[in-house]
Structure 1
Amino acid sequence: MKKAALLYSTSDGQTKKILAHIESDLEGFTCESFDLSSVSSIDLLAFDRVVIGASIRYGHLNKKLYQFIEKNLSQLEQVNAAFFCVNLTARKEEQGKDTPEGSAYIKTFLKKSPWQPKLIGVFAGALLYPRYNFLDKFMIRLIMSLTGGETDTTKEVEYTNWQKVSLFSQKVVKMSGN
């Protein structure tokens, strides 16, 4: 059976939830999950597929993601590896913000990262106001009011397009070559 490494960096759990969905779509693969905030070393060459997912918080990806890429660049370039980014801006599908070409976050990632993934996904996250601390709730509400999003702090809204996640999973399964 083929093996897949599923690595993630998440702020509120939505990236991990998306990765669990991808895992359920990866038929014929045995999957192992790793949290980028605590993984020290991993032999990526032992896996047939590597999927890395990371969320945006206040406009930035977690520095642990970039540290992992720096440390494992050689192996990432040798395996079938995919990357996806989770952010609330991607909820604006009609504006193309849910595509690698239309995502400012992916453009920044590709400029900052020495690793250039062959397959990239962009997914909308979730807005979980009741779970946020006071400062996060205030800041995220401010950002959402500026971008035309939900500002009712009693609500939880999941914007993730699960069909799009499944299409990405299918592409991961079909990846081949280096």
Structure 2
Amino acid sequence: MSRLVLLYMGCEGQTQKITERIGYCLSESGHDTVVSSIEDLKDDFSLESFDGVILGCSIRYGKHHRECYQFIEKYRDQLATIPSYFFSVNLTARKPERRDPHNNRYLQKFLKQISWTPDRVEVFAGALLYTRYRWVDKQMIRLIMKLTGGPTDVTQNTEFTDWRRVKAFAEQLNQDFGKISRPVATYGRQRVENGSAMNVC
């Protein structure tokens, strides 16, 4: 099967959680997977030893994280040489019409700004984690939710992620990478460098 790296950039942990779920599903399908935060990558990190890369990033105040842009710019040549995928995590995707990648303005704006064309993209709804936000962020996000019809009780957290969609994305990746042959025994099963794949696929 394939040796894959799954990288993520987020704030409160939901993007990491989604990435780890995808990594777990791919590992269960026989792929060798490495999961890591972009921030934890070492200076000598390279994509050359991987058969594919899956990159996930959340947004805050309408923009994907700067570190994600920087990663793409730094590794754009390597990204062009292997199968590569991207998923965006944002709260607008809690609405059915915004879950379509073609109809999610944040994702479409992001794709126009980067020097990389992923082989496949997806959008997942994130989580509204009021209890983890700084006071200023909590008030700003509460105002945004009020304007867009979302939850405004700052004492409650709400997870909007549709895990069936996450599983379906992982299954599609497994089909794509299943066409690549590499002995899994050379690399072992799964390594999660940041957190653990606790969720069952």
User: How far, CA to CA, are the matches of 2:44 and 2:169 in structure 1?
Assistant: 26
- Report if aligned partners of 1:87, 1:123 keep a CA contact under 8 Å in 2: yes
Alignment of 1:50-69 (within 5 A): 50-69=53-72
The 1:42/1:142 distance shift into structure 2, 3 A limit, reads: same
User: How far, CA to CA, are the matches of 1:132 and 1:67 in structure 2?
Assistant: 24
Provide Cα deviations, 1:88-134, integer angstroms capped at 9, x if missing partner.
000001x2x01210100111111100101011010000011112111
- Report if aligned partners of 2:101, 2:108 keep a CA contact under 8 Å in 1: yes
User: How far, CA to CA, are the matches of 1:74 and 1:9 in structure 2?
Assistant: 20
**Residue 43 of structure 1, CA deviation:** 1.9
**Residue 2 of structure 1, CA deviation:** 2.4
Alignment of 1:32-71 (within 5 A): 32-39=34-41, 40-71=43-74
Unaligned runs of 5+ in 1: none
- Report if aligned partners of 1:85, 1:123 keep a CA contact under 8 Å in 2: yes
**Residue 37 of structure 1, CA deviation:** 2.2
Alignment of 1:77-116 (within 5 A): 77-93=80-96, 95=97, 97-116=98-117
User: How far, CA to CA, are the matches of 1:104 and 1:33 in structure 2?
Assistant: 27
Identify the residue that residue 16 of structure 1 maps to in structure 2.
16
Amino acid at match of 2:25: D
Identity %: 43
CA RMSD for the aligned pairs? 1.3
> Which of structure 1's runs of 4+ aligned residues deviate more than 3 A?
none
Higher relative contact order (CA 8 A, sep 6+): 2
Provide Cα deviations, 1:115-166, integer angstroms capped at 9, x if missing partner.
0101101000001111211101101100100110000111110000000001
SS of 1:37 mapped into structure 2: helix
**Residue 42 of structure 1, CA deviation:** 2.3
Q: How high is the TM-score relative to the length of structure 1?
A: 0.94
- Report if aligned partners of 2:52, 2:84 keep a CA contact under 8 Å in 1: yes
The answer to whether residue 179 in structure 2 is matched with residue 171 in structure 1 is no
Further displaced range: 132-141 or 26-35: 26-35
**Residue 49 of structure 1, CA deviation:** 2.1
User: How far, CA to CA, are the matches of 1:41 and 1:14 in structure 2?
Assistant: 27
Identify the residue that residue 33 of structure 2 maps to in structure 1.
31
Provide Cα deviations, 1:34-79, integer angstroms capped at 9, x if missing partner.
2112323422121122100000011111111111111111111111
**Residue 22 of structure 1, CA deviation:** 0.2
- Report if aligned partners of 1:49, 1:172 keep a CA contact under 8 Å in 2: no
**Residue 9 of structure 1, CA deviation:** 0.3
Amino acid at match of 1:131: R
User: How far, CA to CA, are the matches of 1:87 and 1:41 in structure 2?
Assistant: 30
User: How far, CA to CA, are the matches of 1:105 and 1:38 in structure 2?
Assistant: 25
Further displaced range: 4-13 or 39-48: 39-48
Number of residue pairs the alignment of both structures matches: 175
